[in-house]
Structure 1
């Protein structure tokens, strides 16, 4: 079962690499933000899988903190975009 979790973590790392490429070449800021969200979500998934596979429960706490930071970053991005559209 550990090997299965590690294989899933590897798949998520590959999706993170694709998201990183999208951040670099994204045509609009919204595309870049969505790719950053993909990185955050995949990173949380990797942390959860590694926590289960390696038996390190502290990684769950780190993943939850990352989830909170991701939500705050999206709220800040949308608030900034709305302010720019009104100006």
Structure 2
């Protein structure tokens, strides 16, 4: 069973290397952000595998923190990348009876 976990760990590390290439190559900010999300999800999976493989339950806590940071990063990116909304004027006064 440990060789399966080790092999899976190598596959996850290969996915991280491919994600580094995507962050470096681009071409858009959204592509780079998705690659960063790949880091977080792959990192969480890798940490959970290592927690099981090395019998270190503290790595599960680190994986949880990494997952929470990934959510916060995504929210910050979407809030910053979204264009501001412009209120449309309808010609009617909102305070009129």
TM-score (norm 2): 0.85
How many angstroms apart in 2 are the aligned matches of 1:3 and 1:61? 24
How many angstroms apart in 2 are the aligned matches of 1:70 and 1:86? 23
- Give unmatched runs, 5+ long, in structure 1: none
TM-score (norm 1): 0.94
Offset, 1:2: 1.2
Offset, 1:86: 2.7
4+ residue runs over 6 A deviation: none
Whether 1:48 and 2:54 are equivalent positions in the alignment is: no
RCO higher in structure (CA 8 A, sep ≥6): 1
Count the aligned residue pairs.
85
Spell out, residue by residue over 1:38-73, the C-alpha distance to the aligned partner (whole angstroms, 9 max, x if none). Answer: 011101100000100110000000000000000000
Secondary structure of the corresponding residue to residue 62 of structure 1: helix
Question: For 2:84, which of 62, 83, 86 is the aligned residue?
Answer: 86
Whether 1:32 and 2:60 are equivalent positions in the alignment is: no
TM-align CA RMSD = 1.0
- The structure carrying a bigger helix percent of its residues is 1
How many angstroms apart in 2 are the aligned matches of 1:56 and 1:38? 24
Offset, 1:3: 1.4
Residue aligning to 1:74: 74
